């Protein structure tokens, strides 16, 4: 008997699949389609079992759908641009492209080794000009529509590196490479994509995703977009500051009579003007300086205390003419709203804290609808709920909701305010002062200003040999042959933009490119995308809940408005799988706790690796890797292999029910008791496994059921006694077909051992037979007062009046019924009898 040899079997079947082009697919409107996709990897480090879990889940789905007759698109590619490649290249004195391509080669080898059913002809790599030219093309379309624009913006800047740092490179306010150097913030010109143009749609369309996306992802996106409905109100500055006004945003205009100050963000443009010549100028300027210096750190230390100072100026409440002091406070954000707030201490927690600290007045203007009235002097915390307005001029006595309406209307009528909805979502800053990314296709000409690179000149190709130092501005700026260019308009000397695009641009639309990966006329053919989209199932980590998945949604809406696609949402269903951990933390190279996928394949084979990641936990949960437990999966595959091998000789020549025209074996001749038991177990297993695959994705339970089936077959050995070969064959076939999506190599091998000359990939998912699965005898639990006291074996479907006498007589139950009166009986057919006694 040959032993199970996964290495040989896996290599054999991977070659057969490739030779027969089993996973290659084309758009075909005559067939139902299914697009299943795992998030594309960033090729860096080693591929470990955390990666494999993601692709295994997707591969199971792809293979099941194929067996069920769908035309399945299941592609793979590389998120190949990015900072780590550039840093690694500098460190190892190589080229980012060399480093990246080496990693891709290794990643690809490991993925192939695991037998994932990808259509490799559709492979894309985002660092290739064939791909990134379309990033540039999209950028130009957005530029034409005002969706891409340039503006000055604040960035982290390390004076020693003389470059911009990503937020991740700022450690407690210091540069990651120069631990003694405080990071500064600088204003530089940066490119933005106008995600805010779609705020409302991005929010509204989340409704379309309900049911298909995890609720928490939807919630996270909703919070991120952060819609607030309220009003903007302008306060005039009194006396010396006359002529200036301060605009605030509030969601509670109904509390405006309770404002005891205005508070500006430290970075508010009016602060300097207000301080000039004010009584507080000297003291306040010093405090402002201090506040601004600590502002970088304050962003890191989010628990910072509220601090502020008085500007010496007053503003006039447009509703009642009250003069209230203007302060500067560190907790007011310049980036949100108008950068200024009205301080209503009695009805806002933050304002209460600030007012208490600095001795500002705390006037009460809302009273609870029920409960004790608030007393200004005894107020211990802010009352932030709705209620009844008081001390609010004409609105006193009204419900706050009503007051809100009236006050907003008054502000609009008198011209000092207006209703407004604002969003937390900001435009997407896409400029990166780095080499390894998509060049932004724009040229600056002294005469014509900013000029878009004409489509015909795309792609703007990255120079092959830049000087990479990790210092200074974009390496592209230090590459004269790249920078110096003729103006497309006037032909005069001009300069190229030297920033590259954020790599999230690459991943925002890559899944469209898979539909038509080699198109050199357009990013993709509309018809092909129309066939495959939307993605039926997307699978990836929760880490991308906001960035990638929000940018992708934005990109889709832009493409729709460009007329490229018909749909508004690219992804129908999203599945976020759990992390693979070791020692309680996610596997990662930097932590040094990875279990390499390749070593796993060498030791146990890919099928065991795949099976274990599916068996150890349900896919949405984190999975703690255990070297000991994996032995169980290995042993199981060996057990199944031996089982098939033992009976292969007997069954090879016969036709099973699935093959014979006569239908199921059970129907052709009266089955023996042993056959009945076997077929019943097999079809019950099939029913539940089918359900698990189709709806719940509880692969761990499905595997447990298949294990039970093999245990049952084992218990019925020798099968040669009392089980006809065609029945043996039917059950063994079901077994291998159910395993096929999860452990495709060993399943294919066993399928062949059972006498099939056609590869298993031609086999459909088996249909379960309800008749064969049906139990004829059931066990009924007999309870007394809800506690199990005995069990009965009865014919399935036996009615209550027949079961009850048996239950009363059941010895275990009878002992607990003695001398008591049954007051109530609950009967659940085929399940239980519960007798309630007094």
Shortest separation between residue 323's beta carbon and RNA, angstroms: 20
Q: Which of residues 198-217 bind RNA (CB under 7 A)?
A: 215-216
Shortest separation between residue 711's beta carbon and RNA, angstroms: 5
Whole-angstrom distance, CA of residue 465 vs CA of residue 460: 15
Q: Which of 144, 187, 204, 305 binds RNA (CB under 7 A)?
A: 305
Whole-angstrom distance, CA of residue 366 vs CA of residue 135: 53
Sign (positive or negative) of CA dihedral 10, 12, 15, 16: negative
Question: What would the two tokens of residue 83 be?
Answer: 């900072």
609 is an interface residue for RNA by CB under 7 A? no
Q: Which of 21, 414, 467, 791 binds RNA (CB under 7 A)?
A: 791
Q: Which of residues 317-336 bind RNA (CB under 7 A)?
A: 330-333, 336
467 is an interface residue for RNA by CB under 7 A? no
Per-residue x/- track, 735-774, RNA (CB under 7 A): ----------------------------------------
Q: Which of residues 391-410 bind RNA (CB under 7 A)?
A: none
Regarding beta strands 428-429 and 417-423, do their DSSP bridges make them parallel or antiparallel, or are they unpaired?
unpaired
For residue 301, give the nearest of 329, 328, 327, 330 by alpha carbon. 330
- Is the Cβ of residue 111 or residue 587 nearer to RNA in the bound state? 587
Q: Which of 219, 289, 668, 762 binds RNA (CB under 7 A)?
A: 219
196 is an interface residue for RNA by CB under 7 A? no
Ranges of beta strands (E only) in 713-810 are 777-784, 787-795
Q: Of 69-77, 494-502, 615-623, 657-665, which part binds RNA (CB under 7 A)?
A: 615-623
Q: Let me know the angle formed at the C-alpha of 507 by 505 and 512, rounded to the nearest 5 degrees.
A: 110
Q: Of 43-51, 108-116, 157-165, 635-643, which part binds RNA (CB under 7 A)?
A: 635-643
φ/ψ bin of 464: left (φ > 0), alpha (ψ from -120 to 50), beta (otherwise) = alpha
Whole-angstrom distance, CA of residue 289 vs CA of residue 450: 36
Q: Which of residues 101-130 bind RNA (CB under 7 A)?
A: none
220 is an interface residue for RNA by CB under 7 A? yes
Q: Of 279-287, 476-484, 596-604, 823-831, which part binds RNA (CB under 7 A)?
A: 823-831
Q: Which of 150, 234, 548, 639 binds RNA (CB under 7 A)?
A: 639
Ranges of beta strands (E only) in 270-416 are 308-316, 323-329, 340-343, 366-367, 388-389
- Is the Cβ of residue 632 or residue 755 nearer to RNA in the bound state? 632
Residue carrying structure tokens 């494999």: 52
In the beta sheet, which residues pair with residue 418? 232
- Is the Cβ of residue 451 or residue 542 nearer to RNA in the bound state? 542
Q: Which of 298, 460, 731, 763 binds RNA (CB under 7 A)?
A: 298
626 is an interface residue for RNA by CB under 7 A? yes
Whole-angstrom distance, CA of residue 21 vs CA of residue 759: 12
- Is the Cβ of residue 183 or residue 630 nearer to RNA in the bound state? 630
546 is an interface residue for RNA by CB under 7 A? yes
Question: What would the two tokens of residue 512 be?
Answer: 């469209």
362 is an interface residue for RNA by CB under 7 A? no
Q: Which of 779, 796, 797, 809 binds RNA (CB under 7 A)?
A: 779
C-beta of residue 834 within 8 angstroms of C-beta of residue 825: yes
624 is an interface residue for RNA by CB under 7 A? yes
Q: How far is CA 591 from CA 65, 526, 581, 583, in A?
A: 37, 44, 11, 10
Can you list the alpha helix ranges (DSSP code H) found in 616-672?
630-651, 665-668
Q: Which of 183, 275, 341, 686 binds RNA (CB under 7 A)?
A: 341
Question: What would the two tokens of residue 29 be?
Answer: 């409107």
C-beta of residue 639 within 8 angstroms of C-beta of residue 596: no
Whole-angstrom distance, CA of residue 481 vs CA of residue 463: 8
Whole-angstrom distance, CA of residue 584 vs CA of residue 649: 47
Q: Of 164-172, 314-322, 488-496, 625-633, which part binds RNA (CB under 7 A)?
A: 625-633
Q: Which of residues 245-284 bind RNA (CB under 7 A)?
A: 249-252, 265
Shortest separation between residue 355's beta carbon and RNA, angstroms: 13
230 is an interface residue for RNA by CB under 7 A? yes
Q: How far is CA 159 from CA 163, 167, 190, 290, 795, in A?
A: 7, 15, 19, 20, 84
Q: Which of residues 691-720 bind RNA (CB under 7 A)?
A: 696, 698, 700-701, 703-704, 707-708, 711, 714-715
For residue 177, give the nearest of 160, 156, 197 by alpha carbon. 160
Shortest separation between residue 822's beta carbon and RNA, angstroms: 11
Shortest separation between residue 172's beta carbon and RNA, angstroms: 15
3-state secondary structure of 791: strand
386 is an interface residue for RNA by CB under 7 A? no
Q: Which of 234, 292, 350, 674 binds RNA (CB under 7 A)?
A: 350
């Amino acid at each position: 008997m040959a032993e199970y040899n996964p290495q040989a079997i896996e290599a054999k079947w991977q070659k057969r699949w490739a030779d027969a082009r089993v996973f290659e697919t084309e758009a075909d409107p005559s067939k139902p389609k299914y697009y299943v996709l795992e998030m594309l990897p960033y090729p860096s480090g080693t591929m470990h079992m955390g990666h494999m879990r993601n692709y295994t889940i997707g591969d199971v789905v792809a293979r099941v759908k194929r067996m069920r007759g769908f035309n399945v698109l299941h592609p793979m590619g590389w998120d190949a641009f990015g900072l780590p490649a550039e840093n690694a290249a500098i460190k190892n004195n190589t080229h980012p492209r060399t480093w990246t391509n080496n990693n891709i080669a290794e990643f690809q080898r490991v993925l192939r080794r695991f037998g994932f059913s990808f259509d490799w002809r559709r492979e894309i790599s985002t660092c290739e000009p064939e791909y990134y030219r379309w990033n540039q093309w999209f950028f130009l379309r957005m530029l034409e529509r005002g969706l891409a624009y340039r503006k000055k913006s604040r960035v982290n800047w390390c004076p020693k590196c003389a470059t911009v740092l990503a937020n991740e490179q700022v450690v407690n306010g210091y540069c990651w490479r120069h631990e003694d150097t405080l990071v500064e913030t600088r204003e530089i010109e940066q490119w933005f994509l106008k995600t805010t143009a779609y705020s409302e749609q991005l929010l509204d369309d989340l409704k379309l995703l309900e049911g298909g996306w995890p609720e928490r992802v939807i919630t996270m996106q909703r919070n991120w977009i952060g819609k607030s409905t309220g009003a903007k109100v302008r306060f005039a500055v009194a006396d010396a500051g006359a002529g200036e006004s301060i605009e605030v945003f509030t969601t509670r205009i109904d509390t405006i009579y309770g404002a005891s100050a205005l508070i500006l963000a430290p970075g508010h443009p009016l602060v300097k003007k207000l301080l000039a010549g004010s009584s507080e100028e000297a003291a306040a300027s010093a405090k402002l300086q201090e506040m601004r210096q600590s502002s970088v750190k304050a962003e890191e230390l989010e628990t910072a205390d509220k601090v502020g100072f008085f500007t010496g100026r007053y503003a006039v409440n447009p509703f009642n003419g009250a003069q209230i002091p203007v302060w500067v406070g560190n907790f007011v954000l310049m980036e949100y709203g108008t950068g200024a707030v009205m301080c209503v201490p009695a009805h806002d927690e933050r304002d209460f804290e600030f007012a208490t600290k600095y001795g500002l007045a705390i006037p009460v203007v809302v009273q609870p609808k029920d409960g004790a009235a608030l007393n200004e002097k005894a107020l211990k915390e802010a009352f932030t709920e709705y209620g009844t307005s008081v001390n609010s001029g004409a609105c006193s006595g009204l419900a706050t909701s009503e007051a809100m309406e009236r006050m907003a209307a008054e502000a609009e009528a008198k011209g000092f305010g207006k209703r407004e909805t604002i969003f937390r979502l900001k435009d997407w800053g896409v400029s990166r002062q780095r080499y390894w990314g998509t060049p932004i296709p724009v040229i600056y000409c002294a005469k014509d200003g900013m000029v878009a690179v004409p489509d015909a000149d795309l792609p703007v190709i990255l120079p092959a040999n830049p000087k990479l130092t990790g210092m200074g501005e974009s390496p592209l700026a230090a590459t004269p042959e790249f920078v110096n260019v003729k103006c497309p308009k006037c032909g005069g000397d001009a300069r190229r933009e030297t920033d590259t695009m954020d790599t999230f641009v690459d991943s925002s639309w890559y899944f469209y490119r898979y539909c038509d990966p080699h198109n050199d006329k357009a990013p993709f053919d509309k018809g092909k995308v129309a066939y495959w989209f939307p993605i039926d199932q997307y699978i990836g980590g929760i880490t991308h809940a906001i960035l990638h998945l929000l940018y992708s949604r934005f990109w889709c809406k832009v493409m729709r408005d460009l007329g490229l696609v018909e749909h508004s949402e690219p992804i129908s269903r999203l599945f976020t799988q759990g992390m693979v951990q070791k020692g309680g933390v996610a596997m990662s190279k930097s932590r040094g706790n990875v279990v390499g996928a390749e070593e796993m394949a060498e030791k146990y084979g890919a099928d065991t690796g795949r099976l274990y990641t599916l068996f150890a936990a349900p896919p949405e949960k984190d999975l703690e890797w255990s070297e000991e437990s994996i032995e169980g999966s290995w042993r199981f595959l060996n057990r199944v292999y031996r089982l098939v091998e033992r009976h292969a000789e007997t069954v090879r020549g016969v036709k099973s029910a699935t093959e014979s025209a006569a239908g199921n074996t059970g129907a052709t001749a009266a089955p023996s008791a042993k056959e009945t038991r076997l077929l019943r177990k097999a079809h019950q297993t099939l029913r539940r496994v089918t359900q698990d695959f189709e709806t719940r994705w509880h692969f761990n339970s499905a595997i447990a059921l298949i294990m039970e089936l093999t245990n049952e077959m084992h218990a019925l050995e020798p099968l040669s006694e009392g089980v006809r070969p065609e029945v043996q064959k039917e059950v063994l076939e079901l077994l291998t077909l159910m395993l096929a999506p999860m452990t495709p190599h060993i399943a294919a091998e066993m399928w062949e051992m059972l006498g099939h000359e056609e590869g298993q990939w031609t086999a459909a998912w088996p249909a379960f037979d309800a008749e064969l699965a049906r139990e004829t005898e059931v066990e009924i639990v007999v309870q007394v007062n809800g506690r199990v006291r005995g069990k009965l074996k009865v014919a399935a479907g036996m009615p209550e009046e027949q079961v009850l006498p048996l239950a009363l007589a059941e010895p275990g139950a009878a002992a607990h019924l003695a001398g008591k009166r049954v007051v109530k009986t609950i009967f659940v057919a085929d399940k239980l009898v519960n007798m309630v006694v007094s």
